[in-house]
Amino acid sequence: MQSESQRYPIGQYSPPATIEREERDAWIAELERLPANLRAAVAGLNEEQLDTRYRPGGWTVRQVVHHLADGHLNSYTRFRLALTEDIPVIKPFDETAWAELPDAKSGPIEPSLKLLDGLHERWVLMFRGLSDADFKRTYRHPDRSAPVILDSTLGYFAWHCCHHVAQIAALRRRKGW
């Protein structure tokens, strides 16, 4: 039986009741560190190791890397829509189906690592230029009843960075890589 600690090595995301500038700044710094942290987590892994699932029933390391690029690119777009439109309705994507596409299932990870390098550089530049009021803007997810606030989305994606890097690091420790 799979352990909850393998699925959520840093615990599940739990948004704080209130979000202040200091919290946002820490989350932005986490997003800024993701490309380097992810590169360090996958450094030296061979093809067989990249195709190892981080937990039973979970994705392979390769799929996790591609998932980070896919998910963060989608979130970046959602932020930009929320900042330029009045409560836009976003298009969700089926992350499980995307992880099964040939590029995510067997493609090299370097293109996704490069994408994350540039994407996170842009994302951080955008975040650092936003006002407190900008982080209160919202978008609508079709599967949720209430609008999604950018503040909580930022916190979730900072957690998302740590969550997936921790999954890879935990797998490496368990396997002695």
**pLDDT > 90: percent of the chain:** 95
164-to-17, 36, 95, 96 alpha-carbon distances in Å: 24, 13, 14, 15
**DSSP for residue 100:** T
Mean pLDDT (the chain) is 96
Structure confidence at residue 159 as a pLDDT band (50, 70, 90): very high
pLDDT, tens only, 27-79? 999 999 999 999 999 999 999 999 999 999 999 999 999 999 999 999 999 99
- In tens, the pLDDT along 66-95 reads 999 999 999 999 999 999 999 999 999 999
DSSP string, 52-97: SBSSTTS-BHHHHHHHHHHHHHHHHHHHHHHHHSSSPBPPP--HHH
171 burial level (CB within 10 Å; 0-12, 13-18, 19+)? buried
For residues 89 and 139, the answer to whether their CB atoms sit within 8 Å is yes
What pTM value is reported for the model? Answer: 0.95
Domain 20-175, CATH homologous superfamily name and number = dinb family like domain (1.20.120.450)
DSSP structural state of residue 135: G
pLDDT in tens, 16-30: 999 999 999 999 999
H or E element in which residue 48 lies? helix 47-50
Check pLDDT > 60 for residue 1.
no
Q: DSSP letter for 140, please.
A: B
104 close to 62: Cβ distance less than 8 angstroms: yes
Quote the pLDDT of residue 2.
55
